[in-house]
Amino acid sequence: KATQGSGDVKYHLGTEGTFTSATGRTIPVYLAANPSHLEAVDGVLEGIVRAKQDRRPAGTFSVLPIAIHGDAALSGQGIVVEILQMSQLRAYRTGGTVHININNQVGFTTPPADGHTSTYSTDVAKTIQAPIFHVNGDDPEAVVRIAELAFAYRQEFHRDVVVDLVCYRRRGHNEGDDPSMTQPLMYNLIEAKRSVRTLYTEALIGRGDITQEEYQASHRDFQDRLERAFGETHAAQTGSMPIPIQNGQPVTGLGLSGSIQDNAVGEPATTGVDEAVLRIVGDAHGNPPAGFTVHTKLQALLDKRVEMSRSGTIDWAMGELFALGSVLLEGTPVRMAGQDTRRGTFVQRHAVLHDRENGQKWLPLANLAENQAPFWIYDSLLSEYAAVGFEYGYSVERADALVLWEAQFGDFANGAQIVIDEFISSAEQKWGQRSSVVLLLPHGYEGQGPDHSSARIERYLQLCGENNMTVARPSTPASYFHLLRRQAYARPRRPLIVFTPKAMLRLRGATSEIADFTSGRFEPVIDDNRVADKAAAKRVLLTSGKIYYDIIAELDKREDSTTAVVRMEQFYPLPIPEMNATLAQYPNADIVWTQDEPENQGAWPFICLELVKHLTGRTIKVASRPASASPATGSSKRSAIEQVELIEKALSLP
């Protein structure tokens, strides 16, 4: 069954089927879809394998990952080192990967002397002391022997192993390439060299293993099979083909692999939970294992979490724990990974607590009920590229799980830009491959400089099209709670990009009450309940994120009741009906999009291009920082001045 959508070249497409051996034994085989970006699929493959293995008893490693490399990519692409370093980590181990290096001794036109400093292209595997078997590609029996040995090693030691298949590329890199132009001496030798089939046939006949007649009969049979396959393929290609219709509906009928087939459509009418569920999650934080010594600095936090589950004033971290805990109680597994994710970059989550005396770990969300779903949360290695690919792959395979990856700061997610571009945003369109992976990207302009302020909202919005993913920036713990719960159950599955807060994690006004969690659903647009006479409002500030609270504080100080502040909690898919319905209540008001980011960044480029054309005769002005090459200033004082200036601009634009 091919895994393909409306557009990609054939050699990128994945497939799934069953291999039947000469003895009749069968084994399922899964080929991961992959882009032209060399080695980018490595993390995705490992994530898919780990997800399959997590359905089985721990430590059995009964799914074998095989990664096929080229010599130039193996030595040249940095993600290879990341994958190797993942191989024995608890968050990522898959019981050993068999790496097969197709060593053609040339990378397109680059010779080995210009492709790697190491003696062999496979020397990168020495970083984890993996065995490396160099084998002559002209000797099929030696190749089979080494393959058997590599597999036996993996099965015995559950560690990575490398097969370096030393061979050559008889033709060019593609149909238009003549390698003799750049490697004349090498290709003089190759042109004079007999093929592997010829050499092996001569050896078999010379040893008396087969006769010339048996070879010729076998060769004719093989050629006949090729001709039949060619004829069937030609007939399929020249026949009528369906034309994709861009109607905004989920892609269906693509022959998706059984593990990811899911054409359901819809989402829960409400994502609220019973108050008893909140109490279960709260109580779990007040029930440490017997003899567990809680760190003195964390006991007050745990007590507060129990109290919040009763009396409200719920902060961001607790709202998140309510979301994760509630889906666990409903039978949905949760996997969460990232740098510092267990504690949280901003010391806010504490999903894993450590005994102050002996280091024992305690996971409150793993101890909610006897019949709850598994909860896995890991601190990742210091990687974005491979780590995001892994979580994406895991989510592809596990439609039943809520899978989240958190950036240490949202700025650092651009280290995984290839995965975001080639898989997260476009895999369904290209291959019909669905994922519901969640990226949590801390974002906020609080004077921390150009590398700790912006998760690059503009980049994700530029990738949006055909309802390919959801991009949101919730402003309250309850909004975040409902967003995560909707993501766990909404179909068809789509990736979710969430711009999460930093300073707002502890902002006194940015809390929610119990009732906000026990009813309702995620609202993509939140109106301003401060304005009594909406028709009299002179200005509507349309905004998202923490700046909402800064604006409200300024309006309260000015006692301004003619300016409304409307929050856009979801950027994409555009909440057009909700936005038009909200703005229609302010017929006499000017609309100003207000953002922390520079004018050429953040959501504004998307708002002015996409949202404006859907508004019923309304126009939007903008209040932001000036357009800038860098996301933010390096001076906290300058940042504070800019914030005051842009809020003043938002409130005074003519």
Report angle CA 643, 441, 279 to the nearest 5 degrees. Answer: 105
Mean pLDDT value across residues 644-648 = 95
Residue 542 pLDDT class (50, 70, 90 cuts): very high
Residue 134 pLDDT class (50, 70, 90 cuts): very high
Q: Establish how many alpha carbons lie within 13 A of residue 326's alpha carbon, considering only the half-sphere containing its beta carbon.
A: 27
Backbone angles phi, psi at 311, to 5 degrees: -110, -10
Q: Establish how many alpha carbons lie within 13 A of residue 248's alpha carbon, considering only the half-sphere containing its beta carbon.
A: 2
Tokens at 527, concatenated: 């109106």
Residue 85's nearest CA partner among 120, 147, 130 is: 130
Tokens at 91, concatenated: 């968050």
Residue 273's nearest CA partner among 526, 475, 520, 523 is: 520
HEC-encoded secondary structure of 44-99: HHHHHHHHHHCCCCCCCCCCCCEEEEEHHHHHHCCHHHHHHHHCCCCCCCCCCCEE
- Rounded Cα gap, residues 385 and 393, in angstroms: 12
pLDDT digits (tens, 9 = 90+) for 266-310: 999 999 999 999 999 999 999 999 999 999 999 999 999 999 999
Mean pLDDT value across residues 400-411 = 97
Query: Is the pLDDT assigned to residue 7 strictly greater than 80?
Result: no
Query: Is the pLDDT assigned to residue 534 strictly greater than 70?
Result: yes
pLDDT at 253: 43
- The pTM of the full predicted model, rounded to 2 decimals, is 0.94
Residue 313's nearest CA partner among 171, 476, 94 is: 476
Residue 13's nearest CA partner among 23, 21, 2, 24 is: 2
pLDDT digits (tens, 9 = 90+) for 199-221: 999 999 999 999 999 999 999 99
* 639, 445 Cβ separation under 8 angstroms: yes
Cα dist from 77 to 41, 74, 92, 154, 627, whole Å: 12, 6, 20, 24, 34
* 433, 396 Cβ separation under 8 angstroms: yes
pLDDT at 260: 52
* 366, 287 Cβ separation under 8 angstroms: no
Based on DSSP, count helices (H) and strands (E) in the chain, helices before strands.
21, 21
Q: Is the dihedral of CA 233, 422, 327, 381 positive or negative?
A: positive
In this structure, what is the dihedral angle of CA atoms 449, 340, 282, 394, given to the nearest 10 degrees? 110
Average pLDDT, the chain: 93
pLDDT at 11: 84
Rg (CA), the chain: 29
Ramachandran category for residue 218: left, alpha or beta (phi over 0 → left; psi -120 to 50 → alpha): alpha
pLDDT at 63: 97
pLDDT at 263: 74
Residue 472's nearest CA partner among 450, 492, 443 is: 443
Cβ-based burial of 259 (10 A; exposed 0-12, middle 13-18, buried ≥19): middle
Report angle CA 451, 453, 455 to the nearest 5 degrees. Answer: 90
- 435: DSSP letter: -
Domains and CATH numbers, the chain: 2-193 (3.40.50.970), 275-513 (3.40.50.12470), 526-652 (3.40.50.11610)
- Rounded Cα gap, residues 337 and 381, in angstroms: 10
pLDDT at 6: 61
Tokens at 463, concatenated: 């990738």
Residue 48's nearest CA partner among 391, 336, 383 is: 391
Residue 252 pLDDT class (50, 70, 90 cuts): very low
Chain centre distance of CA 484: 15
pLDDT at 245: 46
pLDDT digits (tens, 9 = 90+) for 375-387: 999 999 999 999 9
* List of residues 6+ apart from 302 with CB closer than 8 A: 285, 286, 288, 294, 353
Query: Is the pLDDT assigned to residue 242 strictly greater than 80?
Result: no
